[in-house]
Amino acid sequence: MFVDEAKVILKAGHGGNGCLSFLREKYRPNGGPNGGDGGNGGDVVLVCDRNVTDLTNYKFVPHASAKNGEPGRGSNCHGANGASCFLKVPEGTVVIDETKTVIAELFEDGEKIVLLKGGNGGKGNVNFKSSVNQAPRKITLGTPGETGEFTFILKTIADIGLVGFPNAGKSSLINILTNAQQKEAPYPFTTLNPKVGVIHYPETHQTLTIADIPGLISGAHENRGLGIRFLKHIERCKMLLFLIDIAGVDGRNPIDDYRILLEELAHYDRTLLEKKRSIVANKIDLHPAEKHLAAFKKATGETVLTISCIQNMGIEALKEKLRVFCIKN
């Protein structure tokens, strides 16, 4: 199960109350006030952790709270501060509040954000002693911790986003280019969850990340197929790689495929079309591919790189093209 969106209800700890107390000892009459301060409430802190890959934890356990601060005690004892609650989230998590405003984004492993502040501890009566009031009976209460309902949304971070129809060979490509082990199969919607792979360039010691997402079909924006909700995982990519089944194995026309993909992207967010794109024609090993390719180039006017994942053709050239583009930009 892959969860990329979760609603959570969070509570920071309340501050402990200040203490009202007086020193009472034999032979020391009127020993004076000695009520200590309350401890502060714990914060709710988000911690970005690269070992967390999705938001499943929050789907099943949507409530989390930090501990309250302890009240102050006699003998000037300060109450203990409440423990903060640390919530691990994956890289690329966006936090939105009930008004749909983005209030935090976590990108890098180890990054921390205090989402809710714990309440302050109250003051014990020792703080209110003065020349005119030697025995104050005044304390302050701890303040309440912040609370809130939020939605965590995971938007994968990758340099390159793979866009294509089901069966175009997206998973086959990511498996050749990277160490990802995506399932490949000759039926649509084999891939159900996004997955990021890392392309290594040993000669230059560089790396690029590429995201495989479930295939799009015509009407995806009306929730056909798996819909367009997975497009949030390519929103942040530097470039989009359109993978076209140029052999038209499933009986579709590659020119229509490309047009539909652009339309579906536009339905989700027009700014996706402003991203640099690279058009890659896969399955060039199959018979009708050459004929379709000529027609495709003519109709779209795009520069097309041809590859075959099965025969490992054109892969090195593609890898180099991706490197030059992404590293330069």
Q: Does 188 bind ligand GTP (CB under 6 A)?
A: yes
209 near ligand GTP, judged by CB under 6 A: no
Residue 185 interacting entry, from ligand GTP, Mg ion, none, C-beta within 5 to 8 Å by type = ligand GTP
Which residues lie below 8 Å from residue 131, measured CB to CB, with a gap of 6+?
none
**Which segment (75-83, 108-116, 120-128, 180-188) binds ligand GTP by CB under 6 A?**
180-188
In the complex, minimum distance from the CB of residue 318 to ligand GTP, in angstroms, rounded to a whole number = 12
Residue 120 lies near ligand GTP (rule: CB under 6 A): no
Q: Classify the C-alpha dihedral 214-220-226-229 as positive or negative.
A: positive
Residues in binding contact with ligand GTP, number by CB under 6 A: 24
Q: How far is the CB of 219 from ligand GTP (least distance, A)?
A: 16
- How many CA atoms lie within 13 Å of 72's alpha carbon, on the beta-carbon side? 29
Minimum separation from the CB atom of position 70 to ligand GTP (A): 54
CA distances from 219 to 60, 68, 155, 191, 255 (A): 31, 50, 22, 18, 16
Q: What is the DSSP string of 22-69?
A: B--BTTBTT--B-PPPPPPPPPEEEEE-TT--SSHHHHH--EEEPPPP
Q: Tell me the C-alpha distance between 113 and 276, whole Å.
A: 32
Please state, in angstroms and rounded to a whole number, the distance separating the CA atoms of residues 139 and 188.
Answer: 68
* Secondary structure (DSSP) of 166-210: TTSSHHHHHHHHSS------SSS----S-EEEEEEETTTTEEEEE
Pairing state between β 147-154 and 160-164: unpaired
**Minimum distance from residue 170 beta carbon to Mg ion (Å):** 5
DSSP 117-169: PPPPPPPPGGGG--SS-SS-----PPPPPPEEEEEEEE----SEEEEE-TTSS
How far apart (Å, rounded) are the C-alpha atoms in residues 204 and 182? 26
Q: Which position among 57, 190, 218, 300 is part of the footprint of ligand GTP (CB under 6 A)?
A: 190
Q: Which is nearer to Mg ion, 139 or 168 (CB)?
A: 168
Residues 156-175 binding ligand GTP (CB under 6 A) are 164, 166-172
Q: How many residues does the chain have?
A: 329
Q: Which is nearer to ligand GTP, 170 or 236 (CB)?
A: 170
Which two three-digit tokens encode residue 208? 């690029």
Binding to ligand GTP (CB under 6 A) within 229-288 occurs at 282-283, 285-286
Residue from 120, 127, 156, 191 binding Mg ion (CB under 5 A): 191
Between residues 15 and 225, which has the closer beta carbon with respect to ligand GTP? 225
Decide whether 158 or 168 has the Cβ nearer to ligand GTP.
168
Is residue 202 a contact point for ligand GTP (CB under 6 A)?
no
Closest CB 218 distance from ligand GTP, rounded Å: 14
310 makes contact with ligand GTP (CB under 6 A): yes
* Partner whose footprint covers residue 286, from ligand GTP, Mg ion, none (CB < 5 to 8 Å by kind): ligand GTP
Question: Among residues 110 and 186, whose Cβ is nearest to ligand GTP?
Answer: 186
Among 40, 65, 171, 308, binds Mg ion (CB under 5 A): 171
User: Is the Cα dihedral 109, 114, 115, 116 positive or negative?
Assistant: positive
Residues that bind ligand GTP (CB under 6 A): 164, 166-172, 184-186, 188-191, 214-215, 282-283, 285-286, 308-310
Using CB under 5 A, list all residues that contact Mg ion.
Answer: 171, 190-191
